[in-house]
Structure 1
Amino acid sequence: MQTVTLSLFRFDKPGSRFWLAGQMALARMALMGMKQVGFWKICGSGMGEGFTPQPNFTVWAILATWPDEETARRDIENAPVYKDWTKHASETWTIFLNPINSRGKWSGKEPFQPDGVMPEGALAVLTRASLRPHMAARFWGRVPDISAVIGTDPNIVFKIGIGEIPVLHQATFSIWPDTETMAAFARGNGAHGKAIKAVYDEGWFSEDLYARFRIAGAVGSWNGVDPLAKLNQIPEPVAEPDQTTEMDAA
């Protein structure tokens, strides 16, 4: 079963960020040489919630696909590129994922191998898009409203904006307690739902991808905690009282 990993690295110290500058070429060469890695991307991050044009130079990500979870865990622990990044980072967190479904392409490829098996509980969502340059202003004009909604939604377990190139190539990664909560946000009548409609009505993107994943686990911490721990803090929906009477049951 294909496993997808998203590894986040925080480089708070100036010396580590100077070291990272040389890694933009070296890490790419290392990942290309790893036989078990399929699709991969090294991404920067944004300052806000989700898509954002303002880069955050302290946080970087490596997204990769693997033939199975065992291989992913072994190589992320032992491969030199991951060990070097972890050594120089002040904090790291990796989440292990299994693709449920995927629509679209990333750099002309279909990177994920979904199995269609939906989880009963939490799931992760990755959205990625290449903006058409002449549509960039319209897109970024919508982003502040979307970011405000994402930042105040108590149901989002975790979210981060990443991307290969600021302004034009952007992605968001988010974790939700269940499918219903995620769908209500994505397709509702709010800022995000209206933006999604405009995307397809007006052709904002030259390429886009949307994928959902089951969560297989995580290692490390982010902001001092394991973000998945929040899943245990979200209350279960309150069930409606059972109105069945003895006559109904009969």
Structure 2
Amino acid sequence: MSRQTAVLALVDIASDSRGWGLFRYILGPRVFKGQSGLQFCKVLGSGFNGGFSTKPSLSKQGFFCVFESPEQADAFRDASPIVDLYRQHAHEFFIATVQAYSSRGSWSGFSMATTTEDIAQRPIASLTRASIKPTKAVRFWEKAKPAERAIELASGKILTAGLGEAPYLRQATFTIWENTQALEDYAQQGAHLAAIKSAYGNAYFSESMFTRFIVKSAKGVWQGKHVQIN
């Protein structure tokens, strides 16, 4: 059974730290190098309102880091100077540790390992990311907007964020749900199902990764909502 554990943070940079936040985004993953057990890292921007939008935000961003073990992920979350700096410069800060139980595809050639741990009636998270083919981008975004509106009304949703490495073409979404049933109820019907069928049927992506996680811990504030999962 894999012990691989990921840390995902969402940050709304404080108004007096916007320059710091922009510089961090420009530096990207290089400042995370040397972290014990780090296997993969992405520094991400967000949509204008923290959602899935073609218009980038000037303050909202995040990072996704994958570690060999939960101990290394926890040490990074709790004691890393990098994480502490983000907290100090944040108006809102949210951080979660998660373990994948289902994953297909890859992200910049990296694929998630999965655990067989029981997921019954536990909060779960979903990460979907894709590199959108430029020739397919207009059609992709036409389908994506109704799916984003649908998620705002979805039952059992705890948190949602739109992320990306670059506006318009390299996008990701991260969501947390009360349990697997809540996610399935959203994913397998309506606008989201139509968007997925269209994406696969029309080969919108040059690379994609769809991963579901057990939420081991989550704490913080995002878009005004306080979240805590232990």
TM-score by length of 2: 0.90
* One-letter amino acid of the counterpart of residue 46, structure 1: G
Structure 1, gaps ≥5 residues long: 232-250
Aligned to 1:78: 79
Secondary structure of 2:194's counterpart equals helix
Return 208-217 or 27-36, whichever deviates more. Answer: 27-36
Aligned to 1:218: 218
Deviation per residue, 1:59-90 (Å, 9 max, x gap) = 11010011222222222232222222221112
After superposing on structure 2, the runs of 4+ consecutive aligned residues of structure 1 that deviate more than 6 Å are none
Cα distance in 2 between the residues matched to 1:43 and 1:92:
14
Q: CA deviation at 1:29?
A: 2.2
* One-letter amino acid of the counterpart of residue 9, structure 2: S
Cα distance in 1 between the residues matched to 2:226 and 2:211:
23
Deviation per residue, 1:141-162 (Å, 9 max, x gap) = 1222111111112321111110
Aligned to 1:32: 33
Please state if 1:41 is matched with 2:42.
yes
Q: How does 1:72-111 map to 2 (within 5 A)?
A: 72-110=73-111
Cα distance in 2 between the residues matched to 1:225 and 1:148:
18
Secondary structure of 1:154's counterpart equals coil
Q: How does 1:1-250 map to 2 (within 5 A)?
A: 1-13=3-15, 15-26=16-27, 28-47=29-48, 50-110=51-111, 112-121=112-121, 122-188=123-189, 190-223=190-223, 225-228=225-228
Cα distance in 2 between the residues matched to 1:65 and 1:147:
26
Deviation per residue, 1:23-47 (Å, 9 max, x gap) = 2354532212324211110001113
Cα distance in 2 between the residues matched to 1:84 and 1:228:
21
Q: CA deviation at 1:101?
A: 1.2
Report if the CA contact (8 A) 1:157-1:228 is conserved: no
Q: Identity over aligned residues, as a percent?
A: 31
* One-letter amino acid of the counterpart of residue 220, structure 2: G
Change (3 A) 1:172 1:45: same
Change (3 A) 1:153 1:83: same
- Higher CA-based Rg: 1
Would you say how many aligned residue pairs link Structure 1 and Structure 2?
227
Secondary structure of 1:221's counterpart equals strand
Cα distance in 1 between the residues matched to 2:193 and 2:101:
22
Q: CA deviation at 1:117?
A: 2.9
Cα distance in 2 between the residues matched to 1:150 and 1:225:
16
Q: CA deviation at 1:12?
A: 3.0
* One-letter amino acid of the counterpart of residue 11, structure 2: F
TM-score by length of 1: 0.84
C-alpha RMSD of matched pairs (Å)? 2.0
